Chains A and B, each alone.
Chain A
Amino acid sequence: MLLSVENLSVSYDNIRALHGIDFQIDDGEIVCIIGANGAGKSTTLRAISRLVPVEKGTKMTFMGNDLLQYPADKVVSKFGISHVPEGRRLFGNLTIMENLRLATFARKDREKIEEDLERVFDIFPRLSERKTQSSGTLSGGEQQMLAIGRAFMSGRKIMLLDEPSMGLAPLLMMNVFDALKQLNKEGTTILLVEQNARMALQFAQRGYVLENGNLVLQGISEELLANPEVKQAYLGG
């Protein structure tokens, strides 16, 4: 087991966003969490990244290590847990190259970094044409590519993706998901959260359904796609 989350509870200003959820992810899997807006999907990812504090009783382990012992930057640099945040959150005042380089801040393996940069430009050739441009000038799809490339550079044992399809035209969305599939084949485990449930379940092998801070359903993607409740609530009937 790669990532194990037990009894994860998070509150914002005394309002509970997650009510003690449990889930596990194995090495090499593609797993999705689907749910409506406000169900707690982003909060789940932020808790794993240690961006938000969790409540007492929460247990999170990654390859046997207690994640709660580490601050957010160590979760990335020590364990290779990368996170593509909601809305991409690129550094618009940095160039594309700088955005990628910043993600290697804590890495010491210089030669591997150069190789990895090549790899990113390989997967997303559109970025390589514009290395020295400010990332603020990119289109939505290119921004998503850079956000994924940046996560790839920071560490790639597991990639947490928050709504990667958001705001993308169908063709670009396919491009992005193809690239993710490729990264998965090369060994990166993927956990993505999506409002676009159909897309997410077609892409992932397994899924969880999050409702009001509780995981209410889980199963392999085919089952969930066929489940009448899921169909009714998330796939438009």
Chain B
Amino acid sequence: MKWITRERPKIDRIACPWLIKNFVDKEAQFIYVPKDKVFIKADELQAIPYDIPGAEYTHEGDYCTFDYIVKKHNLTDPAIRQIAAIVRGADTDSFQLAPQAAGLWAISAGLSYNYTDDYEMLSIGMKMYDALYSWAKYVQDEKHIWKA
């Protein structure tokens, strides 16, 4: 399927494509367009609109679009649940939700400042969420201590 959202992604519109591609729809393609074109283009291209008010896949209460996808597709991997809290914290300015949220926000905001091409931003962001997932799944108990 094609998935479409607003241009200039930072958190949720990078994290959701990562989640969709890896856990929902391996063949997914992602399209970024100006905010006012999302629904028009979605109709035209038969794409699923997401992370925009009025779409099925969007924020619900305090929860962001990433959370909605986790719920809708019954994703139970604890590492995904943990990333959901980090993404929600970074995306909704609620850094208290997860210790890693503030760092994810800083790095994402800085990446978006450096990469104005949304698709380039997406490809780098994908690597970042791959990293976050590996950390959550395999290495989070590891401590990093200087052994002098």
Q: Do A and B come from one complex?
A: no
Question: Residues of B with Cβ closer than 8 Å to A?
Answer: none
- Chain A residues near B (Cβ < 8 Å): none
